[in-house]
Amino acid sequence: MIVVLVNPRSRANRRNPRIASEFQALVAGVGRVVTPRSLEELDREMAALRAKPPTLIAVHGGDGTLHRAVTALGRGFGEDPIPPLAILGGGTMNVVAASLRIKQPTMAFLTALAADARAGRAPETLRRRCIRVGEQLGFIFGNGLMANFLGEYYGTGKYGPARAAWLLLRAFASAMVRGPFVRKLFKRFEGTVRVDGSALDRTAFVGLAAGTVSEVGLGFKLIHRAAEDLDRFGLLAIHAPPLSLLPDFWSVHAGRGVYHGGQLGE
């Protein structure tokens, strides 16, 4: 049995409110679609799956929807294993799906999953652990620079790859003149970072990133060592000023990481 989780508030579903019924037609006989209208309803739906777990849970929505889904599943299943997840996309950038090279169009992907279910075939899976931050589960965590960038990205209510690219260009131009925009993005904060029980020497940072997937958007593989050990997560702590990171721009995009002179640990 496939359970398809649809976020009715996502941009794709607002544009096409028939998506849930189209998905139900695709999985007819081997699955059902759930469309929780609130986080409380999401928690109830995911907790109810524990008694009779489906063979697969397909999540349609962006990275925020995926984060909410795995958090609800973590609460609902407790110590029991969560069923395999299929990331159908449906968000503006779908960072986790892109990082895992899940590029199949949504309808084609779900059609193939339904065909596997009807034939009794197990789908091919990738193993990734979640990161727990308090009671939240997810695949990527960011503070400082990453959180500041996302604040600008979502701030106007208009978002997508084009806006993310514009913000990168704006940050680049601002860095050239040490303008207020780049200073806002790279605002330092104080904190203590412990890795395997040992605190890093520095306590002033411009950004912290952690994840079990490498990409953080637009193909930039900021946490490039995330998949080296599937039982651990990658960590990047940045204290360097913006201009010193510019030479690493294409290195990060290519998956070679940030030069170690501009970071504290990984």
pLDDT digits (tens, 9 = 90+) for 33-43: 999 999 999 99
User: Residue 237 in contact with residue 208, Cβ under 8 Å?
Assistant: yes
pLDDT (tens digit, 9 = 90+) per residue, 41-92? 999 999 999 999 999 999 998 888 999 999 999 999 998 999 999 999 887 7
140-265 has which fold?
Tumour Suppressor Smad4 (2.60.200)
Q: Give the pTM.
A: 0.85
Q: Is the dihedral of CA 250, 251, 257, 262 positive or negative?
A: negative
* CATH class of segment(s) 2-128: alpha beta
Structure tokens at 123: 């789908």
Q: Where in the chain is the domain with CATH 2.60.200.40?
A: 140-265
Domain with CATH 3.40.50.10330 in the chain: 2-128
- HEC-encoded secondary structure of 32-98: EEECCCCHHHHHHHHHHCCCCCCCEEEEEECHHHHHHHHHHHHHHHCCCCCCCEEEEEECCCCHHHH
